[in-house]
A and B are shown apart, each in its own frame.
Chain A
Amino acid sequence: MTDPTPILNVRGLTKNYGRQIGCVDVDFALFPGEVIGIVGESGSGKSTLLNCMAGHLTPTSGEVLFDTRTDGPRDVLTMSEPERRMLGRTDWAFVHQNPRDGLRMAVSAGGNVGERLMAVGARHYGDIRGAATDWLGRVEIDSHRIDDRPATFSGGMQQRLQIARNLVTGPRLAFMDEPTGGLDVSVQARLLDLLRALVRDMGLSAVIVTHDLAVVRLLADRLMVMKSGHVVETGLTDQVLDDPQHAYTQLLVSSVLQV
């Protein structure tokens, strides 16, 4: 059996903010259906790395090869802007920490979910509405709220709506930046449960950035630990968390509050 092509292959990714280091020489491969977690303290370069991969930031050097449906692996950093935007609304999903960054707050829930469909050419109102209703159901939002604005939703509902809006086009790769940040623990648990089910059902590959080790324990197959812009440890999630090798990882694991 040959190795499958990685859906995302990051090579030597470096981002400097002037003399300030964002992230340095990051290498990793993500395989179809796999979820990788990136953990580290604030300012360790997690979000920089994620934004570089998703094309929101231009890295100083490095390659981000994405396995496109039509042309095989291509460097997203050298793609044209229209191509990258097309990927951004079809094969990719990007879940922001703050749902307000990822939603249109002045547009109804149905319009938010339907926007990606309309952006790729859906022109049948009934079909768009049907898909929106279906997706609201999948993320456990009552379908009679379809015409309400996200501003009237709770934080957890907004985050679930953001996820529905991103997954409606059936993406293959999801970037998530602290998807459970700012939610209380019971809502977090429900959201994690939902995310795990969606990832499994859709065969989604995902890169999840978080500082919450419980989130990666539940969702991620593999783990990357970052510190001051460098990747200090990688491995299977359970292995890294149960037997941390690097001093920083040991500190991180031992810092988790026990109830």
Chain B
Amino acid sequence: MSDYNFAYLDEDTKRMIRRAILKGLAIPGYQVPFASREMPMPYGWGTGGVQVTASVLTPDDTLKVIDQGADDTTNAVSIRRFFERTADVETTEHASKARVIQTRHRIPEEPLSEDQILVYQVPIPEPLRFLEPSEVETRRMHALEDYGLMHVKLYEDIAKHGNIATAYAYPVKVEGRYVMDPSPIPKFDNPKMNMGAIQLFGAGREQRIYALPPYTQVVSLDFEDHPFDPSKAEHPCALCGAQDSYLDEIITDDDGGRMFVCSDSDYCAGRRAAGFVGPAAPDGALTTWRGTPSKGRDSMGDAT
């Protein structure tokens, strides 16, 4: 065991964060301010998610950490190691075996169940932020349910691109009341948010926590004549052949060669272990391939 208090944060801090989480669960989609602590990692690396995970973790929990769907990228590895050291909890890469899953920018492909908690890392919790810079005004807009502006953004998308071009952080309305930023998950994942697991969102730099209780109604905003479309790349996974999973495009050479593979590394590995083979999986050559290669910072904004 380490010299840290269980899961790094002191008990008073965890209690404060749990109170914010409970309030968030009581008012789904409402951003609860909390006194975010400085964590031993930079903002943008999941400080909000880490604090939420630390507060809900118990010694017999099993933890899984993913970053863009993959278990083996820098962000995921470092946070997993952080909790291995400070909480001494078991960790896993299998979504079904985990009790707490901390995620950056994806929801696992495998459906989550009622005894699981999904913790999101959130860079900017305010869905109206880029439309209305004033925090005072956006809070008033939430209070008064004054959400016309959100549709102005979607209108602008269609006017400019012919369709709703927002592909990630696609705004949703929760239980017919609060408009919420689902963190920068691809819009493909939006329909999955109607799930049995508890979903908690932590934004460390912005000091906000919000939450969705199990089976909360989450509706993606759209127009009647431009309905919400949870699109993905029109390919099967090159390694496991899955037609229904969200895909990453991998550049394989500098001649325009590319392949599409599952962004959820656990899902892809599970399918390949079960004998599914994709069109580009050479015999044995890629059997140790697991998800995406470690990547640089992406344009989706940094998770906090």
Which residues from chain A sit less than 8 Å from chain B, CB to CB? 81-82, 85, 89, 104, 107-108, 110-111, 114-116, 118-120, 123-126, 128-129, 146-147
Contacts and interface: CB of A to CB of B under 8 A. Distances in A.
Interface size class of B (residues with CB under 8 A): 10 to 19
25 contacts: A81-B144, A82-B145, A89-B148, A107-B152, A108-B159, A108-B160, A110-B159, A111-B152, A115-B148, A118-B148, A118-B151, A118-B152, A118-B155, A119-B147, A123-B223, A123-B224, A124-B225, A125-B155, A125-B223, A125-B225, A125-B226, A128-B155, A129-B159, A146-B159, A147-B160
Contact of A125 (B144, B145, B147, B158): B158
B225 A114 contact: no
A110 B155 contact: yes
B134 to A, nearest CB: 13
- The dominant DSSP class at the A interface is helix
A124 B147 CA distance: 16
Nearest to A81: B144
A102 B46 CA distance: 39
Nearest to B140: A81
Contact of B149 (A115, A123, A147): A115
Nearest to B145: A82
B155 A85 contact: no
Interface in B206-231: 222-226
Nearest to B151: A118
Contacts of B114: none
B90 interface: no
A83 B138 CA distance: 18
B148 A108 contact: no
B10 interface: no
B156 A85 contact: no
B146 A108 contact: no
A13 B301 CA distance: 51
Interface string B126-166: 00000000000000000011111101100110111000000
B155 A114 contact: yes
